[in-house]
Structure 1
Amino acid sequence: MSQGRHHGGDHAPTRQFGNRVTGVRAPVTRWADGHFGPGLWVLPVLVLAVVVCVDLVGGVWLPLLATGPALAAATNGPRGVLGIGLLAATLGGLLGHQHGIPAGEVAAVVSALLAVTAASGLAGALRGRRERVLAAVRSVAEAAQHALLQPVPETVGPFQVAVRYSAAAAEARIGGDLYALVPTPHGVRLIVGDVRGKGLPAVGTAALVLGVFREAAYDEPDLLAVVGRIERSLARNLGPDDFVTAVVAGCPRPGHLEVVNCGHAPPMLISAGGDVTSVEPTQPAPPLGLRALAGQGPRLQHLPFAVGDQLLLYTDGVTEARDQARAFYPLAAGVARHVSDDPAHTLTAVHDELLTHVGGRLHDDAALLLLRRRSADEQVPAPPRSEAAP
């Protein structure tokens, strides 16, 4: 799945979430109001100027004046198209008269220019309407994404957190990857998962998983019980071919980490010294929703999690991203290059490198969640500076 969100922290372009969902938002052109992109409105005028110069120097080129209003439909609003069309028709009449073209032929050229102007104006108006509809759809999708992938705080107790998410459906900015972090009476718990499939069905399944996880994570003292509740909910609601891969992790007490891997890409444990280790499951387990077919459940892994250590959860949209040579993105090497004591800085660098690797646009949803355990000194805010004596 693909937020160049900046949770904690946003492809074409992706939004960055510092610990919210984001990507760089392309400005919406206000066609109906006649507000155009900077400099674009002048292109049709330049085209008309070039045609006039060529006509004056090299003969009769009047039909090419129709290029002006046609181009204006793509760069201007309806009023701009009308203005360019009237200018083209006026220039056509003047140039035809200068060349001594019979009045009937000049009238035909001017009429053709006015017809092109009318058609271009209609095309511009329809395009403006589509732009407004798209803007409304994107705003609804963004609101849905904020509700589904709730912002993750930058700090939770003794932990720093950062998230980067990019949806492959860049216009909708929402996809099938999921993540959440919940402070509970049983410690901080988090999930990163990937729903089979794409589009609205995948979004619905992601919403189901996150809803059950947020409730169960708070209620269940045992992390395997949290996974079991998600499994039972999916078994009741998913089709026979649907499933969700996921890693569920928790920090029940200082220095201790619990991980349950349900058919997902293995997390990466980053030591305070910068060493990156893949946390392979001790026993392979099926994805969520397929336990009944496999006949076995996941195992709970216990790992040390010292001060300065970091845990990276991610989806396969990151590790399966390919460059032009079809080479996969080397996530472990990328993390080792960019790891720092600031998870947001680390993920920003990794996410930017990932987009560079694929040429600027991901073809699958991609999510990254990085959790770092802070020291006691880092958790104490620095005292305010005293003002210097006059």
Structure 2
Amino acid sequence: MTTALSEPVARVRAGWVSLLFLANLGMWLAIYAPIQVLLPRQAELLASADKELVFGIVTGAGGAVALVVNPLVGLLSDRTTSRFGRRHPWTVAGAVVGALGLAVLATAPNVVVMVLGWCLVSAGLNGMIATLISAVPDRVPVEQRAQTGGFIGISQMFGTVLGTLLVTELVTSLSGGYLASAVVVLLGAAVFVLFTPDAVLPKELKPRTKIELWVSPREHPDFAWAWGCHFLIQLGNAFGTFYLLFFLKDAVHLPDPEGSLLILMAFYGLALIAGAILGGILSDKSGRRKPYVLVASGLMAVAAVALVVSQTWVASVIAAPLLGAGFGLYWAVALALLTQVLPSASDRAKDLGVINIANSLPQVFAPLLAPVVIASLGYPGLFGASALVTLIAGFFIARIRSVN
């Protein structure tokens, strides 16, 4: 049996991976249904003349909250000695807080309450990210991590696609979309917590080291390079996806931008599944990580360049599967690589929380930078920035020495 601080050696079964997938699916749906559809729609409803600015303020505030919550919840879970385990209590708490924030958004009468609601969502769901990602190094052996990471990447994609489907086709009202997302995240957390084990940390093994919400890049340079790569990939993805609804409406001039977004997400999703599964199998079989990340960054950059060259529906249909294949391949391999550069077993969740800041910072920077770029250079400038930072990520990953 895997203990709280041991390096896992027994392969996890398909049932465990499936339940982790469902918990991640609920979490990502509750993040991306608002980001892709509900928050832009609500921003336009509350302040149509300044919808991009309001959307940027709301998502930026939520991203700022995530910067603190992710490593903090990770650190607290590393030191939790509950009889229910280290991670599960925080997973439940995160789902409840996130659902509460979605309920606040469902009835938000103004931008101030909208900001408050999204900050609650960000706090709760980023706490879940910290604990659910930590389940991988807690329970999955190294030789199985890329395949497991692939399923986590697929869950992010399905969360995006199903979230868009849920709030554009099945529950079309703004308040109903938020509440439906809240129900999904609660159900996903419940099935994982109730039906999977979580190793208990004995009180005598509780970490006594100095509490720090960061990892020294001088002492752990490979961790720093991996963090930088992850940040740039996520920033490139944010530049390429956050404003897709506005892009389809204002640049491509489609009569049904929400329906068109759903089509693009379907192409994106199918390619992501293929990239994640194939990349995970090949990476685990070969034991190599870096070459696959380089290929992933290249595919994502090509997708962005396609939209620099042409702001049309045809170019969008070409770019979507390229971006999906690249991002799926990246998530599968990156999660395995990131867990292999963690400094210590006793601080797994905290250190992964520091890495997860790389997921959250783009939520701060992208909404602040994107309106400026769009105003000065248009959407070609935005997608050009996406291609540039994604390519730079490849240079960062090449600097890592401890992982092939």
Task: Using structure 1 for the length normalisation, give the TM-score.
Answer: 0.29
Larger proportion of helix = 2
Return the structure number with greater relative CO, CA threshold 8 A, min gap 6.
2
Task: Using structure 2 for the length normalisation, give the TM-score.
Answer: 0.28
Larger proportion of strand = 1
